[in-house]
Structure 1
Amino acid sequence: MQKIDLNDKTILVTGSAGFIGSNLVKRLFRNVKGATIIGIDNMNDYYDVSLKEFRLKEIESLLPEGITYHFVKGDIADRSCIDKLFAEYKPAVVVNLAAQAGVRYSITNPDAYIQSNLIGFYNILEACRHYPVEHLVYASSSSVYGSNKKVPYSTDDKVDNPVSLYAATKKSNELLAHAYSKLYNIPSTGLRFFTVYGPAGRPDMAYFGFTNKLRKGETIQIFNYGNCKRDFTFVDDIVEGVVRIMQGAPEKKNGEDGLPLPPYAVYNIGNNSPENLLDFVDILQQELIRAKVLPEDYDFEAHKQLVPMQPGDVPVTFADTTALERDYGFKPSTSLREGLRAFAEWYAKFYTL
């Protein structure tokens, strides 16, 4: 592994107004000295733009002395925008978190996924080729495991059977990164995130959507009759993993034929502890009552409906994090109650004050 000192480096974070991206920028502000951090986001309206604006304002309010920060409103699918960005700033480390997320949306709006996840990622790879970087870190997804029966999911498992277009684009990212790592000796690391949640998260995620509906007195639908298990991972744990991995790039080495071996790696970042969806929702409503988002006498049973599985969904996600622990000494550990409490308290401030 090639150690990278992030101090005094230029770091590009794509999707910096997004849930994980904004938390990563804030974390870099706290931990990195003398860096120049460039954020780019297209600020699209896939979900409430005011949430993205809230995250950007929070970033600006936390900017410490000694750090240079620039935000660019732009789309990674726009080749000229990305080329200009790389030519101007020449980032040493790139973290590509910009992507069209969501399994269900990929069924109704496939074009968005081809633009952002394929063309956009290709543009990033081409820029890393022409303006060589020390490390490209990019978001993949646990959805690449599809309906694999073997659990926990290991990065050694075969992942050739995606069950959604979203999953297919994320697997494609890993394949493209491998090819570019091999051809152009670009150190790249893919991160398969497992069901990320937390304050100021994405409103299309189940826990956020459930909260909005419960607050309005609407009924929530729990898929697969509640028999889904998800490896819920708190956003701070995801960011901790990303920052550690940024600092350790796959090593550049030559093979027996004298040609470069691809400096390429993929890791799971998950809680390594899947939770039943019914238990998750039960803890969520307890924490929403505690945070006074819901009244104390809220009749939760009257507002839930068990329904069949949705197309593109999988019954279980479960991360094997052995490689992450071995190589980076880190394992996510935030409990579900702790994480949902942080979300409920943030939601109470953001929506009910």
Structure 2
Amino acid sequence: MKITQTPRWFNGRVLASLVLFVVCASASQAQRGRYGREDVGMGRPIKTEQGFLFVDGAFVAPPYKIEFEDDSIRINGEDYAADAFDLSRYSPRSRGMRGDSARGMGYRGGGGFHRGEPQATVEYNPLWRLSREFSWLSHGAIFILKQENPPLILWPTQHGFDLLETLIATTEQPVNENNVHDAVTSDEDRETWRDLVANFQATPAFLSKATKLVDEMNAVEIDAERQHAAQRLGEKVSYPLTMFALVLVVIAVGHLLTHAQATNLQIDDPSTRETIKKSTVVSLIIVGLMSAIDLVWTLVAHQSGTMREMNPLGSRLIADPVQLIAFKIVITSMSMGLLFWLRDLPFARRATWWCCLVLTLLTVRWVTFQSLFV
């Protein structure tokens, strides 16, 4: 009798298939548990200190702890019945099967989807969807709950910023509650907005949190507007200033090469010394013009966000343009005045020549940089 032995590779494949079947079965069971009735609306509590939460016209101070049951919401230890709010937006029909596909298609508790067989749809709890949207609080969302109205969710970076500014303004003077942002189109949402503004009483916790956020966003907006204005100014002055600097660089290079040797020598001839002194004055004029070009381009580049000042002293002053301009004018004028007063001395003439050379190289660098954007 011949005995056939099963190959080892066959046993390995059978074992691998069994393992894969067990894993898939476990995943399917977990998927069923996810959509099972006992898990709908249930989950871990939402804990965060971000965002803004208003309930029936009152601000709920953070930190937030929000828990969901099958028929209630617990916010910082206070229970609210689910039917107290209009959650019709979270029903499967009104949301057009938004969210998980199993909810809209019908999920069989016995083991998956089957064509041509009746499928029992899992009873849907709108609190499950609401709990997912409540998690947006951790991203800074503004959540407004009002009884018998649907929840209203706003974002500070959009129309929620106007709401926060309006609520802060209620502490100083009456505001027009009918001034609702155009992005809020639903009648229920507009009613929720108006009711909150009309009856809101600002608390110290709200003012501290909202004022800080509004100030930060205003600072960002002002900075963006300043950068945009600097970019427009740079576009206007870039071409003429580049051409002027280019011509000035050519003149400066010729001037430096012409008077390099005479500047660095001790000459006793009166007429030659007078010529050298005149060349020193020309060098000072070039230094002044190039310093002005450097100042204008530095301010435009920094305000538009295309440059970072590496000079430790300049980086402290550049945030205030007026202060930087005043400092630049005073220091440059004093330096040029001192060199002009000492222009008869050889070391002063040499210092002027080297200052002109350094400013020429700096202007060449600016011309090269600006030529990339002209």
TM-score grouping bracket, smaller chain normalisation: under 0.3
Return the TM-score normalized by structure 2: 0.20
More helix as a share of residues: 2
Bigger Rg over Cα: 2
Question: Which structure is higher in RCO with an 8 Å CA cutoff and minimum separation 6?
Answer: 1
Choose between structure 1 and 2: higher strand proportion: 1
**TM-score under structure 1 length normalisation:** 0.21
